[in-house]
């Protein structure tokens, strides 16, 4: 089972151990390089500009483009997953240029995690339209697919239109994977229709557990190569409970998942790195 990491430090959503609050660039570099060496599929980074204080999902959110640009320079093979970019905040050509450049510079190591968004206060602050965000996001997805990995781009849709424009540099991947966030059937149908994968939130943020995911997937026809990312119900303890990891891997496969978005229990950076190492060996990741 391929496994990516729900990155520590880069977001403070949910309960976090004290060491993360004080962590900085040295700790970020340490966990990213360890994950790269241990064969993990991707690192995540959220996308919020400014949020109300004391928001239950947290207040600290590193910028994904800046963060991944740094991490691409100090890693060799791990991929990068903004989790998720809020589509209605951006013009699709803005994403194609900025993240296409990141894909170009990283040697084709980007997956785009994309979502519709749900924090009205942030939409209002950015003067982005909230009520038609679903339709606008669908059009942006089509425009992105017409633009990523191409030098000369054209597209005509209800919200976005452009013709014979040059995007250079552009994404290294001719078909850059786009994964859709969101926990609803609408999000899943958007994913199978317009994208390459579905990456819902964990159950603590209203995402599906394994049984719910299996039921939802039974209602759609997935394209060949379509990825489904399962976020476990709770943090795992690979060092102390390897049987729990094996059970999770079996349950994820039963549910129809192709990728795990891993979060582990930890009390320090050293403990976190030990957990990554233990999981990699249990899951038989391609350790360098």
Cα distances from 97 to residues 89, 94, 106, 142, 230, in angstroms, run 15, 5, 14, 15, 29
What is the CATH architecture of 2-6+25-49+64-282?
A: Alpha-Beta Barrel (3.20)
> Which residues, 6+ apart, have CB-to-CB distance to 210 below 8 Å?
230, 233, 251, 252, 254, 255, 257
Model pLDDT, residue 13: 66
Tens of pLDDT, residues 102-160: 999 999 999 999 999 888 888 898 898 999 999 999 999 999 999 999 999 999 999 99
User: Closest Cα partner for 178 from 78, 42, 71, 82?
Assistant: 82
User: Closest Cα partner for 208 from 221, 196, 198?
Assistant: 198
Whole-prediction pTM value?
A: 0.94
Tens of pLDDT, residues 173-212: 999 999 999 999 999 999 999 999 999 999 988 899 999 9
Model pLDDT, residue 47: 85
> Which residues, 6+ apart, have CB-to-CB distance to 178 below 8 Å?
111, 112, 114, 141, 144, 145, 194, 195, 196, 197
pLDDT band at 14 (very low <50, low <70, confident <90, very high): low
Helix 92-105 / helix 64-74 crossing angle, nearest 10 deg: 10
> Which residues, 6+ apart, have CB-to-CB distance to 176 below 8 Å?
100, 103, 108, 110, 111, 112, 148, 149
Domain residue spans of the chain: 2-6+25-49+64-282
């Amino acid at each position: 089972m391929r496994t990516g990491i729900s990155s520590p430090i880069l977001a403070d959503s949910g309960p976090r151990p004290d060491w993360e609050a004080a962590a900085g660039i040295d700790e970020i570099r340490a966990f990213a390089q360890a994950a790269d060496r241990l064969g993990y599929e991707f690192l995540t980074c959220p996308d919020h500009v400014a949020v109300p204080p004391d928001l239950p999902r947290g207040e600290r959110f590193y910028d994904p483009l800046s963060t991944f640009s740094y991490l691409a320079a100090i890693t060799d093979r791990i991929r990068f997953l903004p989790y998720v970019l809020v589509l209605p905040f951006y013009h699709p050509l803005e994403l194609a240029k900025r993240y296409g450049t990141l894909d170009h510079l990283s040697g084709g190591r980007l997956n785009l995690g994309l979502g519709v968004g749900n924090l009205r206060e942030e939409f209002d602050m950015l003067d982005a339209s909230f009520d038609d965000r679903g339709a606008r996001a669908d059009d942006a997805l089509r425009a992105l697919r017409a633009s990523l990995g191409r030098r000369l781009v054209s597209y005509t849709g209800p919200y976005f239109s452009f013709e014979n424009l040059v995007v250079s540099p552009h994404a290294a991947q001719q078909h850059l994977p786009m994964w859709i966030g969101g926990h609803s059937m609408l999000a899943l149908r958007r994913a199978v229709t317009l994208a390459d994968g579905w990456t819902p939130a964990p159950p603590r943020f209203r995402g599906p557990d394994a049984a719910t995911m299996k039921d939802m997937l039974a209602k759609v026809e997935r394209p060949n190569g379509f990825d489904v990312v399962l976020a476990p119900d709770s943090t795992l303890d690979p060092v102390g409970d390897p049987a729990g990891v094996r059970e999770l891997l079996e349950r994820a496969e039963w549910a129809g998942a192709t990728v795990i978005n891993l979060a582990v229990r930890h009390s320090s950076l050293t403990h976190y790195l030990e957990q990554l190492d233990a999981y990699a060996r249990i899951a038989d990741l391609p350790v360098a």
